[in-house]
Amino acid sequence: MRYPLRILVGYRWRDSHGAKRGGKGWTRNLSEEGAFVQTRDCPAEHEDVDLFLRIPSLRTSSIVSAMRMTMEGRVVRVERNTEQGIDLGFAVQKRRTVSGDDGGTQEPAGTRGRTLPPRVN
């Protein structure tokens, strides 16, 4: 299932000449299988790419911060405006997802080492 989620994303890849490249864009959607990134600087189809996402917390609690995630994948489609000759974005099929350095949560002051009660949704 695709989720229409618009968040800032950074990405990097090596082009066909082996040069390191990178860019920024916005996700159009995100799923367990991959993502679509809207940008004008796209990797070529079939190139490996790393996406760096920071998904903001939907809660206002100080216990939960933004979730950082790195998605390693392969570009499976590049959308272009052929009339204007510009890239519009690219689709990535996920190979692996790695959580960020904060794991998406931070312990509140004074609770280090203690078990927190489960969150109620």
Using the predicted structure, report yes or no on whether residue 9 has a pLDDT greater than 70.
yes
- pLDDT at residue 60, as a whole number: 63
The chain-wide mean pLDDT, for the chain, equals: 81
pTM: 0.74
Using the predicted structure, report yes or no on whether residue 119 has a pLDDT greater than 50.
no
- pLDDT at residue 59, as a whole number: 66
CB contact set of 13 (below 8 Å; sequence gap of 6+): 20, 21, 22, 43, 47, 48, 49, 50, 75
- pLDDT at residue 98, as a whole number: 84
Q: What residue ranges define each of the domains in the chain, with the CATH number in brackets? A: 8-99 (2.30.110.10)
Using the predicted structure, report yes or no on whether residue 109 has a pLDDT greater than 70.
no
What does DSSP assign to residue 99?
E
What number is the average pLDDT over the span 97-111? 48
CB contact set of 28 (below 8 Å; sequence gap of 6+): 4, 6, 36, 37, 38, 89
- pLDDT at residue 110, as a whole number: 37
Which pLDDT tens digit goes with each residue over 44-102? 999 999 999 988 776 666 556 678 889 999 999 999 999 998 899 999 999 998 866 54
